[in-house]
Amino acid sequence: MSSPDIAWLRTLYDGYVKGEIEPIFDRLAGDVEWISALDAPTAKPFAGTFHGAEEVRRFFHTIAQDWLITRYEVQQMIANGDLVVVSIAASARNRRTGKTAELTTQHAMILRDGNIQRFVEWCNDSAPLEAACR
């Protein structure tokens, strides 16, 4: 099974830390399913399953209300057919406390016709998010 050209995906990640989120919406399938499986209580406002571009837009808006993303680096990106798995090293400052959380998140995506069909995000250790909120 051949892997798709995913250079555009890296460009989306590189732009996100600069606040460039609109290009993400250009690459969502019309019936995209976006899952944020973060289990930290402080992540509850933006955790869950979102369907369609408008719900994904709400997901990003909710994160931006509470967090300023200061670092978002792709550590690894692996493509196998339509599946792409990405490991991210991130830093985010809580807008209320001013404290920073350093964490690693993983993303798994199904790509169809050059768009994101399904996106799942998870974090193995949510303690940094909790600490930054106290």
Nearest in space to 111 (alpha carbons), one of 76, 77, 73, 81 = 81
Put simply, whether the predicted model's pTM sits higher than 0.85 gets the answer yes
C-alpha R_g of the chain: 14
d(CA 34, CA 28): 10
Each of the 134 residues of the chain gets a pLDDT tens digit; together they read 556 678 999 999 999 988 899 999 999 999 999 999 877 777 778 889 999 999 999 999 999 999 999 999 999 999 999 999 999 999 999 999 999 999 999 999 999 999 999 999 998 888 898 899 89
Rounded distance between C-alpha atoms, residue 110 and residue 12, angstroms: 15
CATH topology classification for 7-125: Nuclear Transport Factor 2; Chain: A, (3.10.450)
Q: Please report, for the chain, the start and end positions of each structural domain, with discontinuous segments joined by +.
A: 7-125
For 28, phi and psi rounded to 5 degrees? -90, 135
